[in-house]
Chain A
Amino acid sequence: MGMKKEGLKLFENGKRIDGRAYDELRPIKMEVGVLKRADGSCYLEWGGNKVLAAVYGPRECLPRHTQDPLKARINYRYNMAPFSTDERVRPGPSRRSIEISKLSKEALEHVIFTEYFPKTSIDIFVEILQADAGTRCAGLTAASLALADAGIPMKSLITACAAGKIDGKVVLDLGKLEDNFGEADLPIAYMPRTKELVYLQMDGDLTKDEFKEALRLALKGCDEIYRIQRDALKKAYEGEVNGR
């Protein structure tokens, strides 16, 4: 965010640098049940992002002293593969990935019926194989599908999407250049039915009206992505209902 590049126009003649309109998402593709060993899994492509999410559990939470006697413990690990970006990412948790993991875990913990599985853990692993801006939203969207695929009881799926500001214009779903040189980014996740936010971060500079507009756009993006999520889940098990 906020880097400067002379002469770079991100928004011109009503179009963005990759040709999208201000309220247009990058292409998104999801597939559920892609990993054999995991209890639930999802592969997601979003623009240039390639993300894998896996869920294990609920399973006995070890070591024992980390158990919660009243509910399942949710672990969420967001990790960028070393080769996922131009400059190699140093393996292991960074301050950034620890923060993203914490906030994502909390968003999911709001929808999972953790009280059904005392003393267990539900482990969610998100691997960013290729990064292209918006990885935390991509990871959370995939993780929510992997949880549903694992049969974990939840209040709702959750869907994530970001809006931001480039060249003074509020737009949906920032791409890589837009993320680097734009003026603001607002990643959110919501529960589709109630439209309440369970993930919320923002950095950059927005007036109150711009903030409202960004929020409106991000919610609109979430609506579209939710439809893709639903279709991906159903597609994975279509044969089982209609017969082959």
Chain B
Amino acid sequence: MVDENEIVWLVKKDAVADMIKNGKRSDGRKAYEYRPIEIITDYVKRAEGSAYIKLGNTQILVGVKMDVGQPYSDSPNMGTLITNAELVPLASPVFQPGPPNENAIELARVVDRGIRESKMIDFEKLCITEGEEVWNVLIDIHVLDFDGNLIDAATLAAVKALWTAKMPRYEDGKVIYEDKKDSLPVSKKPVACTFARFGNVSILDPSLEEEKSMDGKITITTTDDGKICAVQKSGITKISVPELENLIDVALEKGNEIRKTYLG
């Protein structure tokens, strides 16, 4: 199906791909270079934590809310995490109102996996009464302007929001949102690095133009201790084992740079 709003990308596709295979990007970036990043924390005062991020022209607002609920039966002494993403119709002519489609679901799940598997949140410390009451952490990703690479931007903003969030007080079975003081029990700083694939060429942080022309992409999420906590291949691409190992090296290095500069 060709969306008429997308037809212009279809026409440009081959030219963009050819250029990248020849080692050039239309905005002059190097293969493994991020667009400028700008983050504003505490953007929404009502939320327990929030971060606005601008990555190139991609704009995302991430909010962290908390409430109290029952734990899952297989982990009675742990708090829970739910990550949701919404591709708000104002962000792109192709985003439609309605329940999340497979792209929104994949975005939410990749961000969730990076945060969850990095073990940055100590879920045991979010237990109030074992088997009965625990804190739920709810991350909502609101895409405001879609210019490519939502995963990296959303992960960075979500991690920043979790680090700056303040927990409400819980008293006599009530959550008191007016009184927020304690930080969340967080330790690590996972960073997602997404590479767009053009044939056998990989570039970091694809813009929308690049995403519309790529075969697919690979996201690698790493943590401060030099570990890999999540990987996802998406789209109609393939990758050789040596190239994958190369991308892991790049993701570990770039992850550290991002951590130092934006999550310091």
Contact = CB atoms under 8 A, between A and B. Distances in A.
Interface of A: 1-4, 65-69, 73, 95-96, 98-99, 101-103, 106, 109-110, 180, 186, 191, 194-208, 211-212, 215, 219
10 contacts: A65-B1, A67-B1, A73-B1, A106-B234, A201-B232, A202-B232, A203-B117, A205-B117, A208-B226, A215-B244
B105 A98 contact: yes
B236 A106 contact: yes
B118 interface: yes
A215 B246 CA distance: 14
Most chain A beta carbons < 10 A, residue from B75, B218, B244: B244
Contacts of B240: 194-197
Contacts of A110: 236-238
Given A110-B237, A197-B233, A198-B238, A206 B105 contact: no
Nearest to B237: A110
B234 to A, nearest CB: 7
Given A96-B109, A196-B238, A200-B231, 12 more contacts: A2-B116, A69-B2, A103-B234, A106-B234, A106-B235, A109-B236, A110-B238, A180-B74, A198-B233, A201-B233, A202-B232, A211-B228
Contacts of A198: 233, 237-238
B196 interface: no
Contacts of A106: 216, 233-236
A2 B116 CA distance: 10
A52 B169 CA distance: 50
A55 B116 CA distance: 36
Contacts of B229: 203-206
A211 B116 CA distance: 18
B117 A3 contact: no
A181 to B, nearest CB: 10
A204 B105 contact: no
A3 B118 CA distance: 14
B227 A3 contact: no
B15 interface: no
A73 B236 CA distance: 13
Contact of A206 (B2, B106, B216, B228): B228
A66, A109, A206, most chain B CB atoms within 10 A: A206
B227 A99 contact: no
A15 B113 CA distance: 29
Interface residues of B, number: 38
A219 B223 CA distance: 25
Contacts of A66: 1
Interface in B119-167: 119
A200 B233 contact: yes
A194 B200 CA distance: 13
A110 B216 CA distance: 10
B239 A200 contact: yes
A205 B241 contact: no
A99 B106 contact: yes
Most chain A CB neighbours (cut-off 10 Å) among B1, B2, B75, B118: B1
Nearest to A111: B238
Contacts of B74: 3, 180
B108 interface: yes
A67 B231 CA distance: 32
Contacts of B117: 1-2, 203-205
Contacts of B226: 207-208
Contacts of A180: 74
Given A99-B102, A197-B233, A202 B239 contact: no
